[in-house]
A and B are shown apart, each in its own frame.
Chain A
Amino acid sequence: MSTVTEAQGDAARPEVAPPGPWSFPVPARHTLSNGIELLAYDIPGQYVVSVRTVLPLPLSAEPRHIEGVATAMARLLDEGTAEHSPEEFAELLERKGIALGASVNEAGLGVDLDVPKRHLPEALGLLRLALAEPVFPQAEVERIRRTRLAEIEQERALAPQRAAREFVATFYDADDRASRPSAGTAETVGALTRQDVVAFHARHVGPQGMTVVVAGDLSGLDVVDDFEQTLGSWEATRQTTPGAAAVRSPDAARIVLVDRPGSVQSELFVGCAGPDRRAEGGWAPYPVLGFVIGGSPNARVDAVLREEKGYTYGIRSVFRPRSSGGLFLTSGSVRANSTVESVGLLLDILDGVREGLTDDEVRAGVDFVSKTAPGRFATADAVADEAATLALEGLTTEFTTSNLERIRALTADDLVTAYRRWVQGEWTVVVVGDASAHAEGIRSLGRGEVAVVPN
């Protein structure tokens, strides 16, 4: 309870001065001689330079029987090149303080590099070797395969990952690539050979369509020349066809209980279809909705499940865009003996947003998302990540700036209209917990058909 009286000596509550205008940094653009688009963000004082290469490459390009080949290929890029053994290559990276990582998601391949500024030229030379001349030694392929098989078991043992896997399997059509793990299943990874990896790289990895982002303190560097001498000299052709939007399963709206006997918490994972960044009506409302519904301890969900009931440490909501279409997801864990009540409360809260939002909620959400932007994009890696994510969707960071402008103008009506466009009470619900304790209770909620599957 607030009071207006002040103790002796306490200063008066200060007024807040509104922030000035802000826009996302503007990159210098250059097309390398082999067609790679270079975006250079000069951010003085950022002494670690972040480089992000992105290449559109839908997971549907993977042959069905060896799904996971794209991830395996990415993980093997720095495990041996035409010039260097895996151990030599690792040593070249470590001696210059280079962090190099590669991964794939539904939209494409990303190779990330962070390096102290003075070692950037050498780092780019190594990046070129990793992309252009990986040799995929048999022993390393075996090792990466075995590591992935162990990782699948780790993911099965972790409730949030297990829930996410069951969610996509339930939500997406069984024939769609999106219904299966990005990095492959035990069966498909087990079937993978070195030749598959070599062939996948040869077919799909090349400069055509690639964007490379560099962000950091670029003063005194000749960035265009550094990139031209390295990535710009890479010649390869690729034959990749664009992917299609993932297809929702006709019976996605149901409840799946993944049975984990004795679990002291239940993991909840609830979702429905959501927009991508080009959606009709614009993307602006969705980050705000995510915050208002499940972005803080006092957002709609945690105001009840955490602060009123004490059932959870925290549940988060997010609209997650994909290259085409997206998801609206809410997830977190609750105390085991509150599982049934929590599922009911959570679905009621999510449905209730269709009825409207208060002006205070809208103001708080709009201000949080828009006014945090300067701080969220203050470092080289954050700038590079944003630019790379957008590049993979064919957008530039002008989108970030214009989207923030649109966010500032949002009204309660805009948000509710946007929410209703996607949320119609058709929930896919996954609960990872003790089926013997909760299955009957969840059925009795009457929120949909309940299936129990083993962990």
Chain B
Amino acid sequence: MPLDYPIHQRTLANGLRVVVSPDPSVPTVTVNLWVNVGSRHETPGRTGFAHLFEHLMFQGSRNIASGEHFTRLMAEGGRLNATTWFDRTNYFETVPKGAYELALWMEADRHGHLLDAVTQENLDNQRDVVKEEKRQRYDNVPYGKALIEVYAAVFPPEHPYHHPTIGSMEDLDAASLEDVHAFFRRYYGPNNTVLTLVGDLTAEEGFAAAERYFGHLPATAETPRDTLPQLAPLTAPVTVDRPGAVPNDRVHIAFRLPVDNTDEFFASALAIDALGGLSTSRLVQRLVRREQVANAVQAHAMGFVDGVSLGFFVLDVADGQDPATLEAAVVEELERFAVEGPTAVEMESALAQSERSWLSALAGHEERADLISQHVLLHDDEQFVNTFLDRIGQVTPDQVREAAAAWLRPESRAVVRHLVAAEEDAA
């Protein structure tokens, strides 16, 4: 079934790419902005900065008081937030239709005139808030740093994905007001941003409003650098052991993958599903159901743009089992899959579950807008939401096998093991 969400795109004179996707089924409008800056753009000594900067976007701009972005829009019935990731920063709100121009006006104010309002006090306060976010999400959680360790093991030092978006405490401490000014001037501007509007408005209404509120902003952002060339798979296995106060051993087995939005990436993702991402996948059947040496197996593929993506399996080791035995089983299944490829049932299942999760993602305006912004900003493909299922539907079992043979080779794995430490060793 080809999808046919209406998509209208226009680029303003200042370079702002605007997409409008009308959907009058709900009397709301979702405003979604993607800025082409993420932790991959950070410099050594300033990790975590893109995310800290995102927090400052809520602390006032030329015509908006500190905190007003949340208070005003929530009081109009808005639900809003922002997030930072390796590849980008996004800002979004869903508001009743009658408030969407206010939302655009407020977004334009901070995306155009943040620096009028940035203060040392706000920087210091949000630095503290971000440190608590880091402690809450990573430092005070069993296995909380596992993915950070995966990034560091899979990607080479100095590579944009080697360090996590949350950054380090030392670098957060080092961030200064001068950094805020320089970062804003370099990366924020209509020519480095995509604006998507989804909801109860027409394309012409959306384009007119975008012009009204953003059209006068100058194209101030610097031209982005080219993305990096594709990284080859690791040539020898890497193992990182982290003994600590964890309830059971957990093993992450990770691989470099092709960049996002390529047939090779989609094929790799389907291979990962067949191996570990379904309740019927090979590793779940073998390790969880039959041998019962794992409590759970998960698998994920994360698409990135800067020369590499990431795929990984997570094994929760059952009490009393040796993580090395589980890892050996994974190696065996990877080798077998690279020769056999997926079965017809595995292909059917992986595609069927991809279809459901894609349709579920598109069901709400918020995520639909976010996916449109993503693919316009990073891939210049405004129709992606409509074509993705057809594209993965065309991936052949042979392509899936080839992707596994090229990218999921046992010798290319990076293994991060969180192991139960004896009491006296526990951190």
Binding site for B on A (CB under 8 A): 1-3, 6-11, 13-20, 22, 43-48, 86-87, 90-91, 93-99, 114-116, 118-119, 142-143, 146-147, 149-150, 153-154, 156-159, 262-265, 296-298, 306-313, 333-335, 363-364, 367-368, 370-372, 374-376, 378-381
Contact = CB atoms under 8 A, between A and B. Distances in A.
A288 B145 CA distance: 36
A91 B345 contact: yes
A154 B318 CA distance: 12
Nearest to B349: A94
Contact of A146 (B108, B295, B359): B295
A114 B360 CA distance: 9
B234 to A, nearest CB: 30
Given A94-B349, A146-B295, A375 B62 contact: no
B422 interface: no
B280 A91 contact: yes
Interface size class of B (residues with CB under 8 A): 35 or more
Contact of B77 (A19, A115, A149): A19
Contacts of A99: 353, 356
B98 A17 contact: yes
B132 A334 contact: yes
Contacts of B28: 374-375, 378
15 contacts: A7-B62, A9-B216, A16-B98, A18-B98, A91-B280, A91-B349, A95-B348, A146-B318, A150-B295, A154-B248, A264-B140, A309-B128, A310-B125, A312-B132, A370-B77
Nearest to A433: B140
Nearest to B217: A9
A3 B63 CA distance: 6
Contacts of B181: none
B139 interface: yes
Interface of B: 1, 23, 25-28, 58, 60, 62-65, 67-68, 70-71, 74-79, 94, 96-99, 101-102, 105, 108-109, 112-113, 117, 124-133, 135-137, 139-142, 212-213, 216-217, 245-248, 278-280, 285, 288-289, 292, 295-296, 316, 318-319, 345, 348-349, 352-356, 359-360, 363-365, 427
Given A364-B71, A381-B363, 14 more contacts: A2-B64, A10-B112, A91-B349, A99-B356, A143-B288, A158-B141, A159-B141, A265-B136, A310-B124, A313-B133, A363-B75, A374-B26, A374-B28, A374-B96
Contacts of A86: 289
A87 B280 contact: yes
Given A298-B70, A333-B135, A150 B345 contact: no
* 7 tightest Cβ-Cβ pairs between the two chains A and B: A371-B77, A310-B128, A17-B98, A9-B216, A97-B352, A153-B247, A94-B349
Most chain B beta carbons < 10 A, residue from A118, A368, A371: A371
